[in-house]
Amino acid sequence: MSNHIALENVSQSFSAEETKVELFNNLNLTINQGQSYAITGPSGTGKSSLLMLMSGLENPSSGSCTYVENGQKKSLTLLRENIGFIFQQFHLLPELTALNNVALPLKLRGDKQALTKAKTWLDKVGLSHRLAHKPLQLSGGEQQRVAIARALVFEPKFIFADEPTGNLDQHNATEIADLLFACCQENNAGLILVTHSHALANRAEHIFSLADGHGIATAIEQLEAVS
């Protein structure tokens, strides 16, 4: 079996106004490196929380989330440097230019080619003319592109994206989706998307639909374009 992230009997809940809210119960899910997944479902069913659990950024109320490499179970924290996360709210550093926001993950790793690689990725997302602009000088869609370039610049093993095309028009959304899926294939990365877009979800190899507190995993074939 390929390297993968394993969620076993995972439940997640939180307290709100002295009431316990359960998002999901006893979910079992395997995320294989090199495959693509979409998480869909109505608002409030825990899609973003599930994404945070898969990436190791949050811990479940119960159950386990592990990274299995060459048959050996390991803590998800060991995978953290190989995870790219595209947040819905971007989380760009306002004092840094687009170029330096993208280069930052590489600089933290001591990569001397950080700026060169960052320029390459900003060009890939169509922002070669915005290198010196800070986040507040960019539109929401442009900020999303910077966030995507930052997540992909170090070629992670797994890419997690929370509504990655939610702030883009249809043309730009298609271009960014093409880029995400191409990166997944070229680098043998796992791609996990939270999305309300049926078109984007249907491009994934697997769909995980959350509803009524329970997850239903469904494998689908890649859809052919209908002319």
pLDDT (tens, 9 = 90+) of the chain, 227 residues, equals 589 999 999 988 888 777 887 888 888 899 999 999 999 988 878 888 899 999 998 999 999 999 999 889 999 988 888 999 998 888 999 999 999 999 999 999 999 999 999 999 999 888 999 999 999 999 888 998 899 999 999 889 999 999 988 777 888 888 889 988 988 888 899 999 999 888 899 999 999 888 765 565 554 433 333 32
> What's at 175, amino acid-wise?
E
67 is a domain residue: no
Q: Spell out the alpha helix ranges (H) of the chain.
A: 47-55, 98-108, 114-124, 140-152, 170-186, 198-201
Of 93, 64, 67, the residue nearest 80 (C-alpha): 67
Cross-strand bridge partners of residue 217: 208
Q: What Rg, from alpha-carbon coordinates, does the chain have? A: 18
Percent helix, strand and coil across the chain, each to the nearest 5: 35, 30, 35
Task: Quote the pLDDT of residue 90.
Answer: 86
- Give the pair of three-digit tokens for residue 78: 């060991």
Task: Quote the pLDDT of residue 168.
Answer: 79
Sheet holding 4-16, edge to edge: 19-32, 4-16, 62-69, 72-75
pTM for this model (two decimals): 0.85
224 is a domain residue: no
Task: Quote the pLDDT of residue 227.
Answer: 29
18 is a domain residue: no
125 is a domain residue: yes
- Give the pair of three-digit tokens for residue 133: 């602009």
Task: Quote the pLDDT of residue 1.
Answer: 58
Coil, strand or helix: which one is 6?
A: strand
* Rounded Cα–Cα distance for residues 76 and 188 (Å): 18
43 and 80 in contact (C-beta within 8 Å)? no
Task: Quote the pLDDT of residue 53.
Answer: 92
56 is a domain residue: no
- Give the pair of three-digit tokens for residue 225: 């374009």
41 is a domain residue: yes
Domain residues for 151? 34-48+81-219
Task: Quote the pLDDT of residue 215.
Answer: 60
69 is a domain residue: no
Q: How many CB atoms lie within 10 A of CB 14?
A: 12
Give the CATH number, domain containing residue 192.
3.40.50.300
Q: How many domains does the chain have?
A: 1
127 is a domain residue: yes
